[in-house]
Structure 1
Amino acid sequence: MIVKVLTANRLIDGQAVWLGADGKWLETIEGALVARHAEAVAALEEAGKRAARDNLVVDVNVIDVEERAEGLYPIRLRERIRLSGPTIVTFGDHQALKKAS
């Protein structure tokens, strides 16, 4: 079943986050507040606007996810990448990789 969750990037460090059922921003999609109807989606959008206005998050989006037995699975590739973490190697990471090889 396709449902919706709210995602954003935390303003202080850019970390991808998802709005949890308790109203807190989570670093994983597990525990994200799920919207199954139009009124719930509208509530997610409003919560995102408030959080952006309060300078907690940026790039706020309601996204489609599929409910699977193993948990929530983002439909769009962009969101699956954001869930997995950065796809780039920073300078410090590059130096550590060179030393390890």
Structure 2
Amino acid sequence: MTLQILTANRLSDGISVWYDVDGLWNESIARAEIARTKEDAARLESVGKQAFSANLVLDVNLIDVEENNGFIRPLRLRERIRAEGPTIDYVI
């Protein structure tokens, strides 16, 4: 199974958040809880559905990640941009 984490956007301000190891929605992907089994993924999916129903978050998804030396990195570019920010520097 591919490693997965639960991501969403916070309803109050639209900021990207990840469900963390403490059971909270965190702005840092570094603390995200990693689903290593199908059972873990199913539990995280349930957590996401409950948070969506409670109007805490929207656009809830399990995303595929890799873990390297303790660092979590999304596999898809879209998710890396959400975690790390734009791919270009803005000049002001």
User: Normalising by structure 2, what TM-score?
Assistant: 0.90
TM alignment of 1:16-95, pairs within 5 A:
16-69=16-69, 71-85=71-85
Secondary structure of 2:29's match?
A: coil
Gaps of 5+ in 2: none
* Mapped pair 1:10 → 2:10: yes
Asked if the contact 1:2–1:67 (Cα under 8 Å) also holds between the matched residues in 2, the reply is no
Amino acid at match of 1:21: V
User: Given the two structures, how large is their TM-score scaled by the length of structure 1?
Assistant: 0.82
Larger Rg: 1
More helix by share: 1
Structure 2 SS opposite 1:30: helix
Count, aligned residues: 91
CA-to-partner distance for each residue in 1:28-59, whole Å, 9 max, x for gaps?
11111110000000000000000000000000
Output the aligned Cα RMSD.
2.0
Structure 1, unaligned stretches of length 5 or more? 88-92
SS at match of 1:66: strand
Identity of aligned residues (%): 53
Q: Which amino acid in the other structure matches residue 63 of structure 1?
A: I
- Give the Å deviation of 1:86: 5.6
